[in-house]
A and B are shown apart, each in its own frame.
Chain A
Amino acid sequence: MKKLGFLLQKEFRQILRDRIILVMIFAMPTIQLIILPLAANFEVKDIKVVVVDHDHSTLTQRMLGKLGASGYFRITGAVSSYQEALHYVERNDADVVLEIPVDFERNLVREGRQQVSLSIDAINGARASIGGAYLNSIIADFSQGTDLDIVRAAHPVPAGMPVINVTYNTWYNPREQYKYYMVPGIFVLLLTLIGGFMSALNIVKEKEIGTIEQINVTPIRKWEFISGKLIPFWLMGLIIFTIGLLVAWVVYGIVSVGPLWLLYLFAAVYLVALLGFGLLISTYSANQVQAMFLAFFFMLIFMLMSGLFTATESMPGWARTISALTPVTHFVKVIRMVMLKGSGFADVQLEFLYEIAFALVLNAWAVFNYRKTS
């Protein structure tokens, strides 16, 4: 135990002496939390619409007015033919062409139905489908709202005909703001970087400069060396996590609905798992470049498949299996449940067992792989 004290002292001295790392510890959570929720944002805004209005009626004017007022659309042009409108799309001045046929108002009032045509630039698939859906719902809303009074007067709904009205309640994130979804995810990103990368690079660095050979001829035991390496990063991870929680509170006003101790419990176990992963990477790499590539390869897969950016539920079966086999996925899920829904330990105990299992397996594998003697 006394030797471990000397090892920890040395590691902390080296970490604290590295100004860049020290700055990163504080800057990384702050900057990532401030920038990422703004940038990694799937809300579709500012969709540019070019209108081909063959009707020029009061009704179309009102419909276009509503479109503009929704905040999602900007009418960038009004032209007289579809061909002209396509030029807008080609020049990237429009994402959507909305074509309103002749006699739109007359037919709508007279027959109670009328079609408009939407042509959407689908290079960015998500933007196209979400934007199209918004536009659709605004037009549908328009046709069912006050404006239909005119129509309804002409075609009254027969009495007794059941009308099903669907109303929505958005829970846990009532204003459907993206930041509530992203901020907890970024905590995971931060801890993953500390756990997975920094520990791997630190150990491999000792291999690279040859000091590990010197350590190997000393009577330091394997567990002492490994603990000496992992404990500092474990503490650093928890400090960064704390800074992250503070930034989320100060900048976004996001405070965890669920208990803080549960968040810290998961963060602590998750860090052990990720540190084990970093250690494992370091046992397979001879230098920092190899470690970087290996870690990056797995991290990218972990991150993209973890449900951090996209819902795991919409992945194909095989992808969901891979996703379930990374510790990241479960932590992302739990941290959102606890922070946003206020889940308690009983709700997340299965995930807790998963994290414990990852921590045990990854560390056991790494320790087994790390040898002082060949």
Chain B
Amino acid sequence: MAEQVIVCKELTKRFGDFYAVNNITFEVTKGEIFGFLGANGAGKTTAMRILCGLSFPTSGTATVAGFDVYHQQDQIKRNIGYMSQKFSLYENLTVLENIEFYGGVYGLSRQVIKERSNELIRTLGLEREAKKLVGELPLGWKQKLAFSVAIFHRPQIVFLDEPTGGVDPVTRRQFWDMIYEAAATGITVFVTTHYMDEAEYCNRVTIMVDGKIEALDAPQALKQRFQAENMEEVFYQLARSAKRSSD
């Protein structure tokens, strides 16, 4: 049986009497691209924050890379990468300086950082931009760079929170190529998205509605079960039953 890198059991996060995440249970296998879908306000971000060690659950259990979300947040943080839709590199640092900084805070040595960043700059084709401020790069490049920085320390799992928001279709396609490459090296990818074509690229997909997981399967299987042409229809069938207003 394949190794499970994320295991959630009856995970719940309550704010007052509002159940942001309501009793969710799922597992993610090593090297898998795991899509996390849901309308705005469905509880995706809250669940993801718990798994990243940014927030404590109210009840239930969860382990990430084998570490407990209640007590081993530091170990979790050392073994994951994270990239959010809110652009998270420093615009007033250069490409190389950003890579160096994030490499450094994950405990890589200066020697390793130097070698890997040269390699990364080559792969991304950013040789001419390496010493430019990140703020001067176009959005698509920034997002690709942010993803590369998120997996620079070779984490076991990378969490991507709507990574392709506002990016053009060609760049999105390139971005997903990068995700596939990362997954091929054994990094597990946990990704939230609003683009249903991207959902098709995932190995497995969950759809959250009102804090609960309403569906979890491979995109192909979901389409058959809901007799839908594409993921868009699957999503629509599930999400329209939502009672929560979007935020």
Contact = CB atoms under 8 A, between A and B. Distances in A.
Interface of A: 2-3, 5-7, 9-10, 13-14, 17-18, 209-211, 213-221, 372-374
B56 A219 contact: no
A193 B4 CA distance: 52
Contact of A17 (B52, B77, B92, B101): B92
B164 interface: no
A159 B87 CA distance: 93
Given A6-B104, A218-B105, A373-B73, A213 B97 contact: no
Contact of A216 (B54, B56, B101): B54
Contacts of A7: 101, 105
B84 A210 contact: yes
Interface string B94-116: 00010011101111000000000
12 contacts: A3-B105, A6-B101, A9-B100, A17-B92, A209-B91, A211-B88, A211-B89, A213-B84, A217-B53, A217-B82, A221-B74, A373-B53
B86 interface: yes
Contact of A373 (B56, B89, B104): B56
B226 interface: no
A9 B100 CA distance: 10
Contact of B97 (A13, A18, A210, A372): A13
Contacts of B92: 14, 17-18
Contact of A210 (B78, B86, B102): B86
The listed residue with most B CB atoms (<10 A of its CB), out of A7, A219, A220, is: A219
A372 B92 CA distance: 24
A353 B77 CA distance: 40
B102 A218 contact: yes
B87 A2 contact: no
B93 interface: yes
A287 to B, nearest CB: 14
B104 A211 contact: no
Contacts of B159: 217
Contacts of B207: none
A220 B105 contact: yes
B138 to A, nearest CB: 18
A3 B92 CA distance: 20
Given A219-B77, A373-B55, A213 B88 contact: yes
A224 to B, nearest CB: 8
Nearest to B78: A219
Contacts of B101: 6-7, 9-10
Contact of B86 (A213, A215, A374): A213
Contacts of B105: 3, 6-7, 215, 218-220
Given A10-B93, A210-B84, A210-B87, A217 B54 contact: yes
A7 B55 CA distance: 24
A20 to B, nearest CB: 12
Which of A14, A215, A373 has most B Cβ within 10 Å? Answer: A373
B97 A218 contact: no
Dominant secondary structure at the A interface: helix
Contacts of B89: 211
Given A373-B55, A374-B56, A10 B107 contact: no
B88 A218 contact: no
B90 interface: yes
A3 B103 CA distance: 10
A13 B55 contact: no
Contact of A374 (B55, B88, B106): B55
Given A6-B100, A213-B88, A14 B93 contact: yes
Contacts of B54: 213, 216-217, 372-374
B222 interface: no
Given A13-B97, A14-B92, A14-B93, A219 B74 contact: yes
Contacts of A6: 100-101, 104-105
Contact of B77 (A5, A14, A210, A217): A217
A209 B159 CA distance: 19
B33 interface: no
A331 to B, nearest CB: 33
Given A13-B97, A373-B54, A373-B55, A219 B84 contact: no
Contacts of A9: 100-101, 104
Contacts of A2: 104, 107
B80 interface: yes
A219 B88 contact: no
Q: Which 7 A-B residue pairs are closest in the complex by CB-CB distance?
A: A6-B104, A214-B88, A210-B86, A217-B82, A219-B77, A219-B78, A10-B101
Contacts of B93: 10, 13-14, 17
B187 to A, nearest CB: 16
Contacts of A213: 54, 84, 86, 88
Contacts of B86: 209-210, 213
A214 B55 contact: no
A9 B91 CA distance: 15
